[in-house]
Structure 1
Amino acid sequence: MSSEHSNNDADNTANVKAKKAVRAKPAKGIYVLPNLFTTAGLFAGFYAIMQARLGHFEAASLAIYVAMVMDILDGRLARLTNTQSAFGSEYDSLSDMVSFGVAPAMVLFEFALSELGRFGSLVAFVYIACAALRLARFNVATVNDKSHFIGMPSPGAAAIMASIVWVSVDYDIDPSGISVPLAILMLATALAMVSNVKFRSFKDVNFRDQMPFVGLIVGVMVVALIYWDPPMAFLFCGLGYLLSGTILYVVKKLRRQNKSPTE
Structure 2
Amino acid sequence: MSGRRTTTVEFVRGSMRGGRRRARAWLPSLFTLANMACGFAAILVSFRGEYRLACLLVGLSVVFDIADGAVARLVGAVSPFGLQFDSLADLVSFGLAPSLVVFALFSDGRDQWDPLGWLACFVWVACAAIRLARFNTTIDPTADKRYFTGLPSPGAAGVVLASVFAFADAMQGRDRLWVLLVLVVPGLLMISNVRYRSFRSLVSPKSGKPYSLVAAAVVVVVGFSTVPVVTGCVLAYGYLLSPLVMPLLSPLERLVPDRVKEVLS
**TM-score normalised over the length of structure 2:** 0.76
> Residue 202 of structure 1 aligns to a residue in which SS?
coil
Instruction: Give, in whole Å, the separation in 2 of the partners of 1:150 and 1:78.
Output: 22
User: Is 1:159 aligned to 2:158, yes or no?
Assistant: yes
Q: Choose which of 41, 48, 61 in structure 1 pairs with 2:35.
A: 41
3-state SS, counterpart of residue 145 of structure 1: coil
Which of 223, 226, 238 aligns to 2:224? It is: 226
Identify the match of residue 195 of structure 1 among 192, 197, 203: 192
Give the counterpart letter for 1:224 in structure 2. V
Matched, 1:65 2:59: yes
Distance 2:49 2:129 in 1: 26
- In the alignment, the residues of structure 2 paired with residue 60 and residue 109 of structure 1 have an alpha-carbon distance, to the nearest angstrom, of 13
Contact 1:197/1:246 (<8 A) preserved:
no
Identity of paired residues, percent?
Answer: 36
Deviation at 1:249, TM superposition (A): 8.4
Q: CA deviation at 1:54?
A: 0.8
Task: Assess if the C-alpha contact under 8 Å between 2:159 and 2:182 holds in 1.
Answer: no
Distance 1:73-1:186 versus aligned 2 partners, 3 A rule: same
91-100 or 221-230, larger mean C-alpha shift: 221-230
Q: Pick from 133, 138, 154: which aligns with 1:136?
A: 133
Determine if contact 2:170/2:176 at 8 Å carries over to the other structure.
no
Q: 1:77 to 1:45 in 2, by over 3 A?
A: same
Larger radius of gyration: 1
Task: Name the amino acid aligned to 1:185.
Answer: V
Structure 1 residues 179 and 208, CA gap change in structure 2 (3 angstroms): farther
Letter in structure 2 aligned against 1:48: A
Deviation for aligned residue 1:209 = 2.7
The CA RMSD over aligned residues, in Å, is: 2.9
- Matching residue's letter, 2:21: A
Code of the residue aligned with 1:203 in structure 2: it is R
Shift in Å, 1:204: 4.1
Q: Distance in 2 between matches of 1:91 and 1:219?
A: 28
Structure 2 distance, partners of 1:64, 1:32, is 23
Rounded to whole Å, the distance in 2 between the matches of 1:49 and 1:55 is: 10
Change (3 A) 1:137 1:222: same
CA distance in 1, matches of 2:43, 2:78: 29
TM-score (norm. length: structure 1):
0.76
- For 2:90 and 2:144, the matched residues in 1 are separated by 22
Distance (whole Å) between structure 2 residues aligned to residue 63 and residue 125 of structure 1? 21
Structure 1: distance between partners of 2:61 and 2:17: 32
Compared CA separation, residues 87 and 204, structure 1 to 2 (3 A): closer
Gaps of 5+ in 1: 1-18, 251-263
